[in-house]
Amino acid sequence: MTHIAPVTSRPVEAEFLEHVGPEFLEHVDPEFFEQVGPEFFEQVGPDAYRATAATAGPWSASAQHGGPPSALAARDMERHEPDERMRLARVAVDILRPIPVDTVTLRTRTLRPGRRVALLETVMESGGQDVLYARGWRIGRTADLPVIAREGSVPAIPNSASVPVFPGGYMDGYLAAIDWRFVSGGFSQFGPSQAWGRPRIPLLAGEELTSMTRTLLLADSGGGVGMALDPRKYLFLNVDLTVVLQRDPVGEWLLLDALTTMGGNGTGMTETLLSDRDGVVGTGLQTQLVATA
């Protein structure tokens, strides 16, 4: 079984308030840390996990943001018949319906075994219904191959955290559980934006996030970071998320460089370039349902 290193203990609330200052408390419940708990999920059975309040997305306090369940599905893939000779390079998630802030169960199988490529599938269920499908490609590791990187510099991480604001949305869940640092744009501005992010709490207590689980946890926010419309007037929900990592990001920070375009017919698309401090590591792609609120 793959060894999971314990997460490093630190005073989350003290560090958080040091970064954001008292203005943050004007936007979220002061008892946020007591309400959301120390993790996104609590394991309650061999394949069962109870979602905490920290998973709640901006559209509803009773529905999960897509990031935590996507990361949980990838975690299950990584633990299924693990092979250190391969890495999980791509995960494609389809969100079938709103995922309740409640208990979910997972089942994972290998669809296509192989030594150089392998395809896995994870199905998430809640309340007797399938709520999420995820498929992931494992790619064999090969050393000493050329590195071909996208040119361009990566912006520095701002010193001050950005207060999460989603106009008309629910703020006391996932959005507040992530440390956001906007380089350009912002949650209350509409258009392309760049934002660094890192989770303030682990996916599960006592576990360090892997490269893919950390990326999925954050990358589903591309549609919010790069939102193109006012959420008080329009509904824009992503029905999927596909992340490809050509290399594993290093460190706890991930940069989301997000752009949303729409065709005027009910369909939108968010493209998110994903980077660590050393450069681009991959991309995220989301398909959006767009409608009037």
What pLDDT digit, counting tens, does each position of 110-123 carry? 999 999 999 999 99
Phi, psi of 67 (to 5 degrees): -65, -55
Measured between alpha carbons, how far is 19 from 42 in angstroms, rounded to an integer?
27
Is the pLDDT reported for residue 1 higher than 50?
Answer: no
Q: 32 falls in which pLDDT band (50, 70, 90)?
A: low
pLDDT of residue 293: 87
pLDDT of residue 11: 37
Measured between alpha carbons, how far is 43 from 271 in angstroms, rounded to an integer?
32
What is the share, in percent, of the chain residues with pLDDT greater than 90?
Answer: 79
Question: Strand, coil or helix: what is 270?
Answer: strand
What is the share, in percent, of the chain residues with pLDDT greater than 70?
Answer: 87
Q: Domain residues of the chain, as ranges?
A: 12-141+159-292
Contact between 174 and 56 (Cβ < 8 Å): yes
Phi, psi of 153 (to 5 degrees): -90, 160
Measured between alpha carbons, how far is 72 from 216 in angstroms, rounded to an integer?
9
pLDDT of residue 188: 81
Q: 36 falls in which pLDDT band (50, 70, 90)?
A: low
pLDDT of residue 6: 29
Segment 51-100, tens digit of pLDDT: 999 999 999 999 999 999 999 999 999 999 999 999 999 999 999 999 99
Is the pLDDT reported for residue 220 higher than 50?
Answer: yes
pLDDT of residue 9: 31
pLDDT of residue 278: 96
Q: 12 falls in which pLDDT band (50, 70, 90)?
A: very low
Q: 151 falls in which pLDDT band (50, 70, 90)?
A: confident
The pTM score is: 0.88
Is the pLDDT reported for residue 2 higher than 80?
Answer: no
Does the domain made of 12-141+159-292 have the CATH classification 2.40.160.210? yes
Segment 67-81, tens digit of pLDDT: 999 999 999 999 999
**140 vs 151 pLDDT, higher one:** 140
Is the pLDDT reported for residue 241 higher than 80?
Answer: yes
Contact between 235 and 265 (Cβ < 8 Å): no
Rama region for 58: left / alpha / beta (φ>0; ψ in -120 to 50; rest): alpha
Per-chain mean pLDDT for the chain: 89
Average pLDDT over residues 32-46: 80
